[in-house]
Structure 1
Amino acid sequence: MTKTSKGSIEGGSQTLGRGLEALTLIGESTRPLSVPELAEALGIHRSMAYRLVKTFEQYGFVERMPSGDLELGARLGALARNVAKSLQAAAAPHLATVSDQLQMTALLVVFDGEAAVTLSTAEPRLADATVAQRPGTRHPIDNGAPGRVIRSQLHPEQYPAKDFEFSHDEVIPGLTSIAVPLLLPQGKPAAIAVIYPPRDLDEQHIASVLAEASVRISSTLGLRI
């Protein structure tokens, strides 16, 4: 391998790594980032950040809002829907049942090695208004009910498992979430959850509905609980 070709490969790897880091920063930020803020977080010149964002926009990975702030694009959501198809197929009818029964948005959340990722969702069919959560949305495992469920699966000695986790105003401002563990093959960390506007509800009942759905999903995947 010549020095030129080696340098080209290393340069390409750096560019790819910077691009992936940029997408991670946009996706995990608790608030929308501007291009200058993205440049500062990456430690690069603004002109380079604008070129990155323009490329992302061309491929649908990032969208720029009227304010100029950035959010992940619909293309990433489409890619996320093609991940773990067998798991999504197993979970889909049970998430739909939970959603219709509780009249809440139901979520399947998995661990991607770094963060909790919403893999698929179900919204109640008869509700006048629903809360949307885009597949592909990521958040740290220290935040939100699904994240903490996954955290307890990853670090059970440090964070003992609970029957369910509850969070409010964490991942999505103004919303409440309840989550329970989901047992997957090879012990992969996962959770199912619901999100809803805060109101006086029986949290234990919601958790019981989720727990029953969790058992059914695991059984569909061939696991015995």
Structure 2
Amino acid sequence: MSTAPKSNIEGGSQTLGRGLQALTLIGEARSPLSVADLAAQLGIHRSMAYRLVKTFEQYGFVERTASGELELGARLGALARNVAQSLQSAAAPHLAALSDELLMTSLLVVFDGEEAVTLSTAEPRAADATVAQRPGTRHPIDNGAPGRVIRSQLHPQDFPAKDFESSHDEVIPGLTSIAVPLALPQGKPAAIAVIYPPREVDEAKVASALHEASAKISTALGVRS
């Protein structure tokens, strides 16, 4: 039985890794990247970056704006809808109810092995103005209320859990966040949170509403307290 040469396997692995890194850079960029920007950040020649982008475009993973800058394509959005679908489905009605009750944007935040990632959000329907948080937003677990909740789940001895975490002006400038843990199957670290412009609120009351929503989501997922 023939096998592929080791050099071919290693080369394919490097190409795949570079492609995934490129998609990550495009998706997480604070402003759209050009092909030249992408090449510089990957440390590769511009012609190689063009070939990567061309392949992504063929499969619908990347699209170009009218000015030629890069953004993630619709194909990735379709794939993303299937990521953690049961979790998102279980959480959606409770995040929506929480947002409407508190008139704050609610978030479901999970740990991807490196950082805290916003998986889904809900905005209050009755509020005059709302705060948007894009799903896919990432931040270190040392920053922000939901990040620190996840950090406590990962390292409970070093960072004992609190009833809730709060933060201000950390992940999103000018906004306040309150977060509590969310129990998931297999003990995966997660949190639900709200974000809102600074104003006088009863943080304990907000945390109580968060805990109630968290318990309902866990129950819907079959997790017993």
Q: Which residue of 2 aligns with 1:218?
A: 218
**1:193 partner SS:** strand
Return the index of the structure with the highest Cα Rg. 2
Partner of 2:48: 48
The answer on 1:136 being equivalent to 2:141 is no
- Cα displacement string for residues 154-190 of structure 1 (whole angstroms, at most 9, x for unaligned residues): 1112222122222233333333222110011111100
Alignment of 1:6-85 (within 5 A): 6-28=6-28, 31-32=30-31, 34-35=33-34, 36-57=36-57, 59-62=59-62, 72-73=72-73, 75-85=75-85
1:106 corresponds to which residue?
A: 106
| Equivalence for 1:148 | 148
Root-mean-square deviation (Å): 2.7
**Deviation of the 1:54 alpha carbon:** 4.5
Task: Name the SS for the 1:180 alignment partner.
Answer: strand
Q: TM-score, normalised by structure 2?
A: 0.83
Give 5+ residue unaligned stretches, structure 1. none
Report how far residue 25 of structure 1 moved. 3.3
**2:167, 2:37 → 1: CA distance?**
28
More off after superposition, 181-190 vs 19-28: 19-28
Supply the distance in 1 between the matched residues of 2:207 and 2:81 (Cα, whole angstroms): 25
Mean CA deviation greater in 169-178 or 65-74: 65-74
**Paired AA for residue 106 in structure 1:** S
- TM-fit CA distance, 1:152: 1.3
SS at match of 1:200: coil
**Structure 2: gaps spanning 5 or more residues:** none
How many residues are paired up? Answer: 223
State whether residues 80 and 136 of structure 1, in contact with CA within 8 Å, keep that contact through their aligned partners in structure 2.
no
Matched, 1:203 2:206: no
Report the CA distance shift for 1:155/1:77 in structure 2 as closer, same or farther (over 3 A): farther
> Structure 2 CA distance, aligned partners of 1:142 and 1:12?
35
Distance 1:141 1:55, change over 3 A: farther
Task: Name the SS of the counterpart of 2:117 in structure 1.
Answer: strand
Q: Is the Cα contact below 8 Å between 1:176 and 1:198 reproduced in 2? A: yes
SS in 2 for 1:183: coil
